Amino acid sequence: MSRGSKTRASDAEDICAITRTLAVLSDRWSFLILRDVFLGVSKFGEFRTSLGIASDVLSARLATLVEFGVLEKVPYHEPGQRGRFAYQLTPAGQELKIVLGALQQWGDEHVPHSENPSVARLARGSRHPLRVTFVDDRGNPVEHDDAEFVPTASYPKDAVIDQRPRPASPMA
């Protein structure tokens, strides 16, 4: 096992959900593979062509996404060819749509391209544009300034946390 995979394995056991998630979605290729899956790409050769990624890197990223239950391998057979596998999202993988939507939204707003967004986030039925936002447990939108990350009892006692009071939201 390489040093990188040992680190990834230990990160997958970390108490921090962000560290554990990054053990699975470890680099840009993982996010770009997911983007392509959401756009309908499913076969190894299609990923390689779309992304211009080396076969060994693609194999490793797909294996990690399968190992952690983000993608599943589905056998298929084209006439005259040997059996192969396509990749499709699991329910856990489908939940990453909001993460990719948030990344895209941030990029569209803070690192815009001169030719406008290349993909639109639309509601399937109405075709209305979508925004990614925080929502409370009653379904009410919450402004970013009013959302906070609060350590729980599980947070490591020796971690350094800024305990200073946060200023109230200017809209409050």
Across the range 135-160, mean pLDDT stands at 88
- Tell me whether residue 154 is in a domain: no
Classify residue 172: in a domain, yes or no: no
Residue 46 included in any domain:
yes
* Domain contains 64: yes
Q: What is the pLDDT of residues 38-69, one digit of tens each?
A: 999 999 999 999 999 999 999 999 999 999 99
Q: Which residues span the domain enclosing 134?
A: 96-147
In this structure, the answer to whether residues 37 and 83 fall within a common structural domain is yes
**Residue 3 has what pLDDT?**
40
Measured at the CA of 136, the angle between CA 100 and CA 123, to 5 degrees, comes to 45
The CATH number of the domain holding residue 26 is 1.10.10.10
> Are the CB atoms for 66 and 72 separated by under 8 Å?
yes
Give yes or no: residues 5 and 60 share one domain.
yes
Instruction: Determine, yes or no, domain membership for 6.
Output: yes
pLDDT of residue 165: 65
Output the pTM of the full model. Answer: 0.81
